[in-house]
Structures are given as structure tokens and as C-alpha cells.
Amino acid sequence: MAKVALLIGVSEYQELNPLPSAVRDVAALKVVLAQEAIGGFDHVKTLENPELTQLQDAVYELFEQCSKEDLVLLYFSGHGVKDQSLELFLTTPQTRKNDRGLIVPHTAVSARYLQNRITTSRCQRTVVILDCCYSGAFAKGMTAKDEGKVNVLEQLGGKGRAILTSSTAVQSSFQQDERSLSLYTHYLVEGIKTGAADLDGDGQISADELHQYTHQKVTEESPAMTPEFYPVKEGHRIFVAKAPQDEPLLLYRKEVQRLVAEQDDAIAFLTGEFDPWDRALLDDCMQKWQIPAEAAQQIEQEITEPLRQRYQKLKEYETLYQKAVQHCWPISERIARRLQELQRAWGLRDEDIAPIEARLCPASVAEVPTPAPELSPATSETPDAPVVHSSVKTVDYQTLKALLEQQQWKAANQETFRLMLAATERQAQGWLDFDAIKRLPKAVLRTIDELWTVASQGRFGFSAQKKIWQRLDRGDQRETEKMLGVEVGWRKGGRWTFEIIDDLNAPEGHLPFWGDWGKSPAMPWLGKGISAVLFSQIEICSVPSNSLSSVSSTSQTLADKLAQVELNSAKGADYSKLRDLLKEQAWEDADQETLRLMVEVGALDYKNYLNVEDIKNFPCEDLRSIRAIQRKKKPKLKEEKGEFQQTTFRDPANGGYLVLKGS
């Protein structure tokens, strides 16, 4: 059995952008593969900037001369391009594109050629590593490795094969000026050279372990870059290299990795310093394993480097965003576009920058210089309604107000979404993104929030949600959002749910539900930190006093309203006692009387409780009578242990709700 490798690097191009690191990638990988104690490869051939026929001949010989038991590794660093049918091509210095930007096929090596050579080979253990991309993003200090998207597994898959790629859709397999190797190959080599990619500690680095290690390190530094792994048959268990076991430097490296993974906020990434507790533990390990201070420092720096790089990008983005806010608010479209371009170039996701933007958004428009808008005031029809604030946008709140007064919560939720789209002029798109939330006029948010707050007596609305969010917040935006989801009924069994409870007895803060307002496939809202952006725009409001007086006057006429209720029973039940108890607001006794009536009407005295079948067979006429009485004044029932519990049944005739005890 032999281990052979062909490493190809193309840095120089006649028409495409140069990639200086590609030939250095090849040289660095050759060093670790050729070392007997690490890679143990019997033969490693390298090609730097090869001609087309030279590259094809080398690939042909690689697979033609191998035997069944050999391990063959093919590595390519350079531009990856595609043709009109999305077939992948590996480029050479002479590769060029036509006027439409598509590859001229005879100037590059197609994936089909590689597939044929691999398939006809006798070798049953093949590893293909492609450090090239299929979509392009060009920015200062970075050069991407092309554009498009290809199905790598379909084009290169086969028996006993492992395919590792630096990225599938290029947010970027790019080089940075300060690093000599490409980002992907840098961590590929590091994982093999140090043995850190031996994740299970068995002394062997398999293809899947190498991918897992490289993927983790790359995404720590550049989260938007997504290395991929395509194992075929037993390809994931092909052993690429060896790793020392119980070697002090490797043990120390794994201990540092463990501490960083457990609590990366314990490290000041700009300096690479650990907190006192981790530092004490690492010092003890240095002494126990006799690790020189210089070697320990190098290991710590290597492990924290990707996190430090990401931290520096975030700090730079924060500085630029703060300057943008100070320049003008709302941020102009031109500056917002530049910030988005920088975000993509630096590999930062929306959820990475959301907390920064939420923190730096002005608490009110008056805090930053901005031209005075022309206001389009809208007024409410009754003096008891909440104030409808002036808005930069002309927004008609009357439909929302009417729906909330009628307690049509689900319909009001949809109307709220429609108003948000109108206020941000995104009716055509039909969904909101992070930028749209940041552009929402505060007057619009404040009016919508007050309408919900008043209608629900403080139970629903953005203010109710923000209070819960502030109580739960421990600094991790995404975790806080998950806890918020559990508390308001949006998250069950560890998953987000899009079911809306159309009732005032829904959990506090349940509405308005904004989890499905981001309809873009690239914008998963819940669990991604959108709450930090939304709540930064919200000023908590309380139920206005004029609306409370309206509620008070309603309770004063409760007896009159109850007296007007027409009571009917299919079984001759007497509901007068229940009505009297509700007049007196004796809620617990009324709850007991309701259960007694249900048992009586259902002829269930022998068991004194109701099951689902009993409810199904219950006379609708009696349900309507009970519902009519209780809807005149519905109590907020306590649910603490030791106090009476509640069970809610839906009235099949009218769609209302009936609160019962003891079912």
C-alpha cells in the first residue's frame, strides 16, 4: 500500500486575478504530508502554475499508476470557475472567459475529466481537497476565487471518496494580505502539523476530522465562509495523517482549545490574555507537562488568532457604524450599502452585527442631526383612545384600532405586519429585514405599541415583550431570544413554533408575533438576534390613564350588562346563581358554579368531571349561555401552585372560550 499526493497551485493568470498564496499553499501542505511521522506519504508531487496539458497529464498519471490499496490525495488551490451548465473547472494560467463571463472550456480542466480519471482508477481510497470557490466577492486586501455554484458531490462523488472544499458559495475563499497562506489551507495545514485535527485522540487524522477542525477554525475567524465535506461510501474514515498521542505540546493545545470553546468571552482577544482562573489552570498544565513558556505562548496565539481576527473586524465595523450614525440618521442608502459590502467582505453575518447596531441606534431621532420631516398627523376618533403619534409616513391606524377593540387578535397581528410594510415601503417585497426594522419610524412603532398595550390592558404589545426581554437578558442576544420565545409561547420543545393563540389568555407578550415577518430565505429571524434590533427602537409605554378610566367605567356597568344576557338551556339548567356570582366578581365561586352546571347539564353527577367526549356532546345552547355571561367580565385567573387552576374549552358554535376548573 502506498500513499501518493498531487498538489497543484495556480497563482499566476494571464486574464484572471492573481492568487499569490496558491503556490505557498502547495509548499506548506507538501511539508506536512511528506514528513514520515505526520503525513507519511511515500510520494508528494507538486505543480506550480502548470500549463493545461501538464496538469491533465499529471492527473492522468496519478490515478493510472495507483493500485487498489493505495491512498491518493489530489489538492488544488486556485480559481474555480464554471460554465453555463454549472460544471466546475480547475483553472490554469491560460484560462480565460468569454464576453459573457463564462469559461472557455478548452482552457481549463473540467470536473468531468477528474471524474473519469478517478472512476476508472483501481484506487478505492481517494481524497480530493479543493481550495477554490464558486462565487466571487472582491474587496481591498482580499481576492476571491470566482463565482457561481456547482454540485461538487454530483461531479466528483464516487466509491471510497472524501471531498473537502473551502466553500460552496463563496462568501469567500479569500486570501488576506497579512497571511501567507489562504485562510482554508492555513488551518488545514495547522490541523495536520500540530495533530490538533485528531479529535478523537486515536492517533489518526481521518478525512472527516480534518474537515471538522478546519471548518471550526475558519468559521471562528470568518463566520460567513462555509467549508463543506462530501464523504462517499467510507470516505469519511480515510486516514490522511498521523498524530502523536500523549505528546505534551498536543495535550497543551487541546487543553487551550477546550478552555476557549467553553468560554471564549473569558479571553481579551486583542491581547490574547486569558482570565485569572483559566490562566492559573494553563500555568499548572505548563508545569506538569514541562511546556516552555515560548511554546505555550505560540500555541495560545494560534488558537485564539481566528477569534481575535473576528473581534477586530467587529470592532472596526462598530467604529464605522458609529461614524455613520453620527453623520446622519437614518443612515443614507449609500452608506448603508457600503456597510453591507464591508459586512460581506469581512465574512460577518447579520446576527454578528445586530447587537452592535442595536446598541448604537439612537434612543430617539432627536439625538442625532437629521432634517425635520413633514409630519402627517392622524388622530383617533374617541378621547379615550391612545394618542396616535405623528409619523414620517402617512399611516392609517383605524383598521388596527377597530380590530383590537373587537379583540380580534390574530387579524390585528396581520394588520400590524401590513402597517410595518407600509411604513418601510416594503409592500412589494412582502417581508422585513434587519435594515427595515432599523428604518421604522419611532412614531409608527410607538403608536402601534400603545394601541396593543391599551387594548390588552398591558398584556400584549412591544412594550410587554421588551420588559420580558430585559428581565431575561444576560448578554447573549440569541440565548435571550430563545428564552423570550419560551416565555411568550413562541418556542416549544426546543423548536420555534408559528402558531398564534387568538385569545387574551395567551402568554403575556405573545402578540404581536413578529417571528414570521422576515420571509427572505437568507433571513431567519427567530434565534438570530432580531429582538435586539427591534427592542432598541421601542420606548416602553404604560397603559394611558384615560384608557384605564374607560376600563373602570366598563366595570361599573357590569351588572347592567349581565342583566341583559338571555339565558337558555336545553336541559332546563338555572344560570341565575352564576350570573349573581359574576356580578359580585366572586371569581373562584363562579368557577366552581360553572363546573357544577356543566356536570348537571351533562348528567355527569356520578363522576363530577368532564372529559373530551363529554365536551363534544355538551349542548351548544348551554355553552352559549355560559359564554355570554363570562365574556362580560373575564377574570385574570391565577395559576400559581395552591390556587385554582383553569382549563380552556372552545365553544364550537361561536368560537369563544370557556374557562373551567377541575376538568
Measured CA to CA, the distance from residue 355 to residue 342 in angstroms comes to: 17
Q: Quote the percentage of the chain above a pLDDT of 70.
A: 71
CATH number of 3-244: 3.40.50.1460
How high is the mean pLDDT of the chain? Answer: 75
What one-letter code names the amino acid at 512?
A: P
SS3 340: helix
C-alpha dist (Å) from residue 660 to 289, 625, 634, 644: 68, 14, 12, 10
In the chain, CATH 3.40.50.1460 covers: 3-244
C-alpha separations of 569 from 602, 617, 655 in Å: 11, 14, 19
Q: pLDDT tens, 152-211? A: 444 443 447 888 888 754 434 544 545 688 989 999 999 999 888 988 888 899 999 999
- 524 pLDDT band (50/70/90 cuts)? very low
Residue 470 confidence (pLDDT) above 50: yes
At 63 the pLDDT is: 92
pLDDT for residue 654: 37
Q: What is the DSSP letter of 106?
A: G
Helix/strand/coil for 332: coil
What's the pLDDT band for 328 if we cut at 50, 70, 90?
Answer: confident
User: Do 90 and 146 meet the contact criterion of CB atoms below 8 Å apart?
Assistant: no
CA–CA gap between residue 102 and residue 85 (Å, rounded): 10
**Torsion-angle region of residue 585: left (phi > 0), alpha (psi -120 to 50) or beta?**
left
End-to-end CA distance of the chain: 73
Q: Which of 132, 30, 150 is nearest to 91 (CA)?
A: 132
Confidence class of residue 582 from pLDDT cuts 50, 70 and 90?
A: confident
278, amino acid identity? D
**Average pLDDT for residues 488-497, to the nearest whole number?**
82
DSSP secondary structure letter of residue 553:
H
Calculate the dihedral angle through the C-alpha atoms of 598, 599, 600, 605, rounding to the nearest 10 degrees.
180
pLDDT tens string 339-392: 988 887 787 877 778 878 877 876 533 333 333 333 333 333 333 444 444 444
| Stretch(es) of the chain classified as CATH 1.25.40.620 | 557-660
pLDDT (0 to 100) of residue 267 = 56
Residue 74 predicted with pLDDT over 70: yes
Predicted local confidence at residue 562, as pLDDT: 55
- Cβ atoms of residues 323 and 298 within 8 Å: no
Candidate CATH numbers 2.60.40.1150, 1.25.40.620, 1.10.10.1200, 1.10.760.10; the one for domain 557-660: 1.25.40.620
Q: Sorting pLDDT into bands at 50, 70 and 90, what band is 550?
A: very low
What average pLDDT score do residues 416-434 get? 82
For residue 631, pLDDT beyond 60? no
CB atoms within 10 A of CB 524: 14
Residue with cell 456547482: 150
Sequential DSSP letters for 9-77: E----SSSPP-THHHHHHHHHHHHHH-TTTT--SEEEEEES--HHHHHHHHHHHHHS--TT-EEEEEEE
Question: What's the pLDDT at 378?
Answer: 37
Q: Where are the beta strands (DSSP E) in 405-556?
A: 491-492, 495-496
Question: What are the tens digits of pLDDT across the range 278-315?
Answer: 889 999 999 998 989 998 988 888 888 877 887 888 88
At position 581, the amino acid (one-letter code) is: L
Tell me how far apart the alpha carbons of residues 598 and 618 are, in angstroms, rounded to a whole number: 8
- How far is Cα 65 from Cα 279, in angstroms, rounded to an integer? 53
Residue 57 has pLDDT above 60, yes or no: yes
**Whole-number Å distance between alpha carbons of 302 and 449:** 49
377 and 555 Cβ atoms separated by less than 8 Å: no
Q: How far apart are CA 435 and CA 334, in angstroms?
A: 13
591: CB partners within 8 A, 6+ apart: 637, 644, 646, 659, 660, 661
- Take residue 450 and report the three cell numbers written for it: 400603545
pLDDT at 268: 55
Q: 182 near 25, Cβ under 8 Å?
A: yes
* Average pLDDT rounded to a whole number, residues 379-407: 63
Pick the more confident residue, 562 or 86: 86
Do residues 137 and 172 touch, judged by C-beta distance below 8 A?
A: yes
Distances from the Cα of 179 to the Cα of 21, 31, 160, 183, 185, angstroms? 9, 18, 34, 8, 11
Determine the pLDDT at residue 624.
65
For residue 591, the surrounding DSSP H or E stretch is helix 587-601
Question: Which residue has better confidence, 493 or 44?
Answer: 44
Average pLDDT on 5-18 reads 92
